[in-house]
């Protein structure tokens, strides 16, 4: 008589849990925990593909070998960087939003070590991508960044969250997203290099302007109308010790 219980136990995380989480992610795309569950349970094959892509390059193999993590210690080092760098802008963004670098939900449904790390890494660099693409944390900004992440990683949950979350917007905002912002997000996501393979901690001291130029990254804020971080907070300010 225990078999039905075991079947139910397996069916719940594989079917019902990702379904309910996906519905929640549609309504609240800014909820990282809701987006994470269907991303882990439904798109495991995508993390396997990402892992194979990283293993095909020396930088990717090095990242998978070391499996470095972005945490509060990383944020402390970012605060020491000079104004205008990736690190200092990232620190200003996190401090302004009162975010913590290690607040991302833990990966629970991916068992392969490399794939689990990539699922974790994708969450940890989410805030860095906000900075790189100058993508605000407004609903418009989160939708655009989810579209970029879908193009970069191929995780269906990201596109579902980006596309269906627009139902919360006004008709004018929906038209703006469909005709301008989302096509731009897809385009910049496609023309950018694979962003999950970089060791961002080693790039904290690099000029953000230089980084965007080298990676052919276009600012999303140019279309949305809001910046991720006020440039006056980071452009010429000295490092925070």
Q: pLDDT tens digit string along 176-225? A: 878 887 888 889 999 999 999 999 999 999 999 999 999 999 888 877 76
Q: Which candidate, 197, 174, 203, 216, places its Cα nearest to that of 74?
A: 203
d(CA 191, CA 212): 12
- Check residue 225 and give its pLDDT: 63
Quick one: pLDDT at residue 2?
A: 39
Residues of the chain with pLDDT under 70: 1-44, 157-166, 168, 225-241
Region of 98 please: left (phi>0), alpha (psi -120 to 50) or beta.
left
* Strand-pair partners of 207: 85
**pLDDT at site 179:** 85
Rounded CA gap, 149 and 118, in Å? Answer: 13
Is the distance from CB of 165 to CB of 26 less than 8 angstroms?
yes
Q: Where are the domains of the chain?
A: 3-233
Cβ 220 vs Cβ 180: under 8 Å: no
pLDDT at 3: 41
Burial of residue 49 (number of CB atoms within 10 Å: 0-12, 13-18, 19+): middle
Predicted local distance difference test score (pLDDT) of residue 174: 81
């Amino acid at each position: 008589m225990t078999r039905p219980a075991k079947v139910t136990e397996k069916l719940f995380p594989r079917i019902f849990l990702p379904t309910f989480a996906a519905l929640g992610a549609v309504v609240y795309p800014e909820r990282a925990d809701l987006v994470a569950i269907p991303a882990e349970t439904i798109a495991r094959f995508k993390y396997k593909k990402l892992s194979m892509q990283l293993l095909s390059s020396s930088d990717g193999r090095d990242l998978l070998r070391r499996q470095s993590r972005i945490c509060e210690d990383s944020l402390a080092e970012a605060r020491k960087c000079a104004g205008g760098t990736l690190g200092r802008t990232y620190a200003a963004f996190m401090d302004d939003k009162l975010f913590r670098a290690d607040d991302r939900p833990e990966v629970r449904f991916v068992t392969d070590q490399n794939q689990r790390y990539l699922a974790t890494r994708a969450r940890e660099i989410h805030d860095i991508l906000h900075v790189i693409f100058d993508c605000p944390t407004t609903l418009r900004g989160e939708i655009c960044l989810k579209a970029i992440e879908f193009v970069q990683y191929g995780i269906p949950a990201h596109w579902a969250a980006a596309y269906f979350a627009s139902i919360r917007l006004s008709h004018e905002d929906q038209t703006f997203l469909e005709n301008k912002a989302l096509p731009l997000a897809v385009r910049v996501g496609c023309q950018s290099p694979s962003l999950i393979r970089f060791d961002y901690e080693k790039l904290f001291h690099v000029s953000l302007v230089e980084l965007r130029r080298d990676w052919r990254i276009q600012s999303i804020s140019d279309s949305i109308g809001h910046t991720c971080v006020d440039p006056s907070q980071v452009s010429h300010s000295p490092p925070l010790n």
